[in-house]
């Protein structure tokens, strides 16, 4: 199964609560945090919600 490397590149300050909670559920708390997530429908949906805040690459 493929994995995705997700990095938070923009601040969560003054963002909608749903976006902050989504980033936290991916393990992203502050700028520069990187996590490796499985490439599945659930992760793709979370990334879509905060696509303007993160950089995604294939791991």
| 35: containing domain | 3-58
**pTM of the entire predicted model:** 0.93
Structurally, the chain folds into a number of domains equal to: 1
Question: How far apart are the C-alpha atoms of 32 and 40, rounded to whole Å?
Answer: 23
Question: How far apart are the C-alpha atoms of 4 and 18, rounded to whole Å?
Answer: 21
Q: Per residue of the chain (59 residues), give pLDDT as tens.
A: 799 999 999 999 999 999 999 999 999 999 999 999 999 999 999 999 999 999 999 98
CATH number for 53: 3.30.1390.20
């Amino acid at each position: 199964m493929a994995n995705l490397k997700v990095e938070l590149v923009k601040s969560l300050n003054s963002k909608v609560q749903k976006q902050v909670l989504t980033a936290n559920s991916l393990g992203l708390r502050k700028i520069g945090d990187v996590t490796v997530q499985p490439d599945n429908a659930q992760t793709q949906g979370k990334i879509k919600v905060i696509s303007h805040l993160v950089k995604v690459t294939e791991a």
